[in-house]
Amino acid sequence: MTTLIVFVAILACAWSAPCVHNNHADLTEEHVINMVIEAADFNDDGVLDDLDLANFLTRYDANNNYKVEKVEFANGWVSYYHDERAFAEHVFDFLNTDTDNVLEADDIPALVARADTSGDGKVQVSEMRIFLENIYNAC
């Protein structure tokens, strides 16, 4: 009976977990964060501006409709960074500030506001690193 209770408790915990960070290529969180920042900072100036973020999101727009749906984002994230699909969907949900299940240009100002901890209207690489770490920690 005790074994059954423990088994059910383990299943309940597994089912209630919103996401799992498990990387198929054995990349660490730090490695993936570095890869994301490198991909997002197109001009390598240490600042992620609106254009950088728009270009970064564009890479996930598989059907080229200027909107990134959750499935597109998850497919791209899994392909680029080899994380579990549930984690990729968690990242999408974290980025989708207006909860319309689409990432588009209108989401960028709110995304900048969430990541910009200094309040200067710019997202420094160090701020993006913290923002991404928060996504991982919320998993």
How does pLDDT run across 101-133, given as a tens digit for each residue?
999 999 999 999 999 999 998 999 999 999 999
Residue 6 lies in a domain: no
Range of the domain at 30: 21-137
Residue 3 lies in a domain: no
Instruction: Tell whether pTM > 0.85.
Output: no
Structural domain count, the chain: 1
Is pLDDT of 4 > 50? no
Question: Are the C-beta atoms of residues 51 and 62 closer than 8 Å to each other?
Answer: no
Least confident residue range of 6-10, 39-43, 81-85, 86-90: 6-10
